[in-house]
Each structure stands twice: as structure tokens, then as C-alpha cells.
Amino acid sequence: MKKMIFATLMLLISITAFAQKPADKIIGKWESIDGEVKLRFDIFKQDGKYFGKLLWASNMFEADGQTPKKDNNNPDNSLKTRSRQGIVNITNLKFEKGEYSGGKLYNPSDGDTYSLNAKLKNANELHFRGYLGISLLGKTMKFKRIQ
């Protein structure tokens, strides 16, 4: 009986040790569920902040549907020839008081960089709010977890 209790206790301790921190629940693959342009991001953590890699966008490819467009609207001339696919265009989101804030979103379609906040509505729904200046004048996009 003591061995069974000990084994159960060790199992619970190991599960707790590997449990995801509340802030890390944003990590994973997400797909937009609204908006004109459909998007897929892979959100990851680096140096205590959260970043997003653009996996796919409905406007990412040339007319042939296979060749990724170049980042020709980028204000940095050295980046204009890179592919839009796979760029890290969500940067520096910090988790504070249950929300993600202080991030930046680079939009390769227009070459602009927007301030970005995010909020997990539940385990499978994420809202991004991009804006210039004040958040009130921004736009919210909804995403669902795909992995």
C-alpha cells in the first residue's frame, strides 16, 4: 500500500513539474477565423517573450499559388528580397496581468509595424489587437488553436 501511495505521489509531482505556466498557454499554432486575409502563426517563447512566425497567409503567394511573395514593402532595403513565408513578424509580446502586451506586428503587405496586444479567451481562442498610436483605434483579429 505504501508503495502505491508513493508511486501515485511521484506521478502527481512529475505532472505538476511539467505543467505549462499560464503565460506559456499562448505557445502553439494558430489560424485566423475572421478577417479578409487568412493567417497561420506558430507562437513560441524566446528569452521570456513571445514571438510569432508566419507559416501561411492567403495573400502570401504569387499568381501561380506556389511561389511565396517577396517582402518588397519592407522599409529595410536588405530585407526586400526575403520570402514572406516563415518570417518572424510578431515580436516581443510580454505576459503581464493575464494579458500579452508590448509586442510588435510587422505586416509584409504594407511594410508597416503595428503595436500588438493579445489575450487568450480560452485554451483554443486567441485575440490579437494591432494598432498605430492608441489601441482604441486598432483592429482585433481572432484565432483558433490548430495544434
> Domain for residue 124, yes or no?
yes
Residue 20's pLDDT band (cuts 50, 70, 90): low
Whether the model clears a pTM of 0.85, i.e. scores above it, the answer is: no
> Domain for residue 31, yes or no?
yes
CB atoms within 10 A of CB 89: 21
For the chain, the domain total comes to: 1
> Domain for residue 5, yes or no?
no
State residue 4 phi and psi, 5-degree precision.
-65, -40
Q: What is the DSSP letter of 147?
A: -
> Domain for residue 141, yes or no?
yes
Domain interval for residue 137: 24-145
> Domain for residue 8, yes or no?
no
The CA distance from 126 to 142, in Å, is: 6
Q: How many residues are there in the chain?
A: 147
CATH number at residue 33: 2.40.128.520
The CA distance from 91 to 32, in Å, is: 18
> For 35-87, what is each residue's pLDDT tens digit?
889 999 999 999 999 999 999 999 999 999 999 999 999 999 999 999 999 99
Residue 74 has what pLDDT?
A: 97
Residue 12's pLDDT band (cuts 50, 70, 90): very low
> Domain for residue 90, yes or no?
yes
> Domain for residue 19, yes or no?
no
86 touches 101 (CB < 8 A): no
The CA distance from 39 to 115, in Å, is: 18
Considering only CA atoms, which of 62, 64, 66, 68 is closest in space to residue 84? Answer: 68
Q: How far is CA 47 from the centre of its chain?
A: 15
> Domain for residue 107, yes or no?
yes
The CA distance from 108 to 52, in Å, is: 14
- Taken in order 75, 50, 52, 79, the sign of the CA dihedral is positive
126 touches 143 (CB < 8 A): yes
